[in-house]
C-alpha cells in the first residue's frame, strides 16, 4: 500500500499562508483522486479538498477561495496552498488517496494564531 508523508505545517498568524506537501512512497499517477483532510481538537476528521487524476478540484465551503490543491505526478506529491488563514483552520492536516486503502500518515500540525 502507498505511504504518505505530510509536511509544511507550522504556526502562522491569521491572514497568513502556508503550503503543505504530501509525498507518496510510490507513483500517484494511477490514483484516481487525492484529498486533504483535517482534524481539529475534539472534532471529526473532515475532507477539505480533493483533486482527481485529471486535475479537477473540489473544496469544502469553509475553505473555498482560500485553499488550493494541486498534484505533481512526476514528484509523487500533492500540495495544499492555504491562504488567508483563519484561527478556525487550526488542525492536523492529512492527505489520503480516495478511496483510502492505506493507513493514515502522521499528519502535519497547522496552528493559526489571532
Q: What is the pLDDT of residue 54?
A: 92
The grid coordinates of residue 98 equal 480516495
**pLDDT one-digit tens code per residue, 16-27:** 999 999 999 999
Rounded Cα distance between 11 and 21, Å, is: 16
Q: What is the pLDDT of residue 20?
A: 98
Q: Which residues of the chain have pLDDT under 50?
A: none
Residues 111/86, Cβ–Cβ less than 8 Å = no
Distances (CA, A) of 20 to 17, 42, 48: 10, 22, 13
Pairing label, strands 57-59, 67-72: unpaired
Pairing label, strands 10-13, 108-113: parallel
Amino acid at each position: 500500500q502507498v505511504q504518505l508523508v505530510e509536511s509544511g505545517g507550522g504556526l502562522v498568524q491569521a491572514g497568513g499562508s502556508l503550503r503543505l506537501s504530501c509525498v507518496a512512497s510510490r507513483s500517484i499517477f494511477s490514483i484516481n483522486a487525492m484529498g486533504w483532510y483535517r482534524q481539529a481538537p475534539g472534532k471529526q476528521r473532515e475532507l477539505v479538498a480533493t483533486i482527481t487524476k485529471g486535475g479537477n478540484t473540489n473544496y469544502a465551503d469553509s475553505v473555498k477561495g482560500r485553499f488550493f490543491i494541486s498534484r505533481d505526478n512526476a514528484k509523487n506529491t500533492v500540495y495544499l496552498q492555504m491562504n488567508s488563514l483563519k484561527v478556525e483552520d487550526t488542525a492536523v492536516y492529512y492527505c489520503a488517496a480516495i478511496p483510502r486503502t492505506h493507513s493514515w500518515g502522521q499528519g502535519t500540525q497547522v496552528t493559526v494564531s489571532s
